[in-house]
């Protein structure tokens, strides 16, 4: 079965792709990630994907548009309609959940739309491999978008291949990022690492 595989990054693709091929699917990678900030990080992840595609050739489609303003405008309208909320520091867990649900939905809607235009029978995402994602929320968003768009969603708990992806990306010397993608996730990550100061 031809599958449009939303691809968040090369390391996650390197673990998801062999697993899906083993299950009998023919994945085509689809890179669409306006959530990745800043732009230089987005470029770095895209270049890493291109390197992976060179080393391990497969069908791929790459969305090179970077609709930063549209993404951020919609995100703040969804998560923090009152912009002053965002100025207070960290988001609450509820706001973070809303933020990720919005982000998953944006990317899956684009995947389903492209799958439908290009005649794919089904879609899935390499985000299902990451142990850092909200797996259940992601799966539910994918199911909802699948119903709305009329394209089958292939669910597989790819987290069991997490270590395979680490091995493969280290063998291919692929860049592995240390935060999810959006500017908020970078802030959350870095502020956890830094010692708190009282001044």
Q: Interface with ligand SF4 includes 111 (CB under 6 A)?
A: no
Sign of CA dihedral 137, 127, 167, 22: positive
**Residue placing its CB nearer to ligand SF4 in the complex, 169 or 185:** 185
Q: Interface with ligand SF4 includes 181 (CB under 6 A)?
A: yes
| Cα-based distances in Å from 115 to 27, 95, 123, 132, 171 | 11, 30, 7, 26, 31
- Min CB(100)–ligand SF4 separation in Å: 3
- CA 53 to chain centroid, in Å, comes to 17
Looking at 11-19, 82-90, 142-150, 180-188, which segment touches ligand SF4 (CB under 6 A)?
180-188
Looking at 15-23, 63-71, 97-105, 112-120, which segment touches ligand SF4 (CB under 6 A)?
97-105
Show the binding pattern over residues 18-57: x = contacts ligand SF4 (CB under 6 A), - = does not.
-----------------x----------------------
Q: Interface with ligand SF4 includes 124 (CB under 6 A)?
A: no
Looking at 20-28, 55-63, 147-155, 174-182, which segment touches ligand SF4 (CB under 6 A)?
174-182
Q: Are 198 and 40 in contact, with CB atoms under 8 Å apart?
A: no
- Min CB(132)–ligand SF4 separation in Å: 8
Q: Interface with ligand SF4 includes 108 (CB under 6 A)?
A: no
Where are the extended beta strands (E) located within the chain?
2-6, 26-31, 60-62, 122-125, 152-153
| Cα-based distances in Å from 66 to 34, 102, 169, 174, 181 | 6, 17, 25, 22, 13
| Cα-based distances in Å from 155 to 16, 25, 46, 138 | 12, 12, 25, 10
- Min CB(182)–ligand SF4 separation in Å: 3
- Min CB(173)–ligand SF4 separation in Å: 24
Residues that bind ligand SF4 (CB under 6 A): 35, 99-100, 103, 180-182, 184-185
């Amino acid at each position: 079965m031809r599958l449009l595989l939303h691809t968040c990054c090369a390391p996650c693709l390197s673990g998801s792709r062999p697993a899906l091929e083993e299950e009998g699917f023919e994945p085509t990678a689809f890179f669409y990630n306006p959530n990745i900030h800043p732009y230089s990080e987005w470029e770095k992840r895209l270049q890493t994907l291109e390197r992976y595609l060179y080393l391990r050739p497969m069908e791929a489609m790459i969305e090179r548009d970077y609709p930063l303003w549209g993404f951020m405008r919609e995100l703040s309208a969804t998560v923090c309609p009152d912009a002053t909320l965002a100025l207070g520091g960290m988001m609450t867990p509820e706001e973070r959940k809303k933020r990720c649900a919005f982000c998953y939905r944006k990317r899956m809607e684009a995947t389903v739309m492209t799958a439908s235009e290009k005649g794919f029978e089904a879609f899935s995402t390499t985000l299902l491999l990451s142990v850092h994602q909200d797996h259940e929320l992601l799966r539910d968003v994918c199911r909802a978008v699948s119903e709305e768009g009329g394209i089958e969603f292939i669910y597989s708990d790819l987290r069991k291949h997490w270590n395979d992806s680490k091995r493969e990306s280290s063998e291919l010397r692929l860049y592995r990022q240390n935060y999810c993608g959006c500017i908020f996730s970078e802030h959350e990550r870095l502020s956890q690492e830094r010692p708190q100061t009282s001044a």
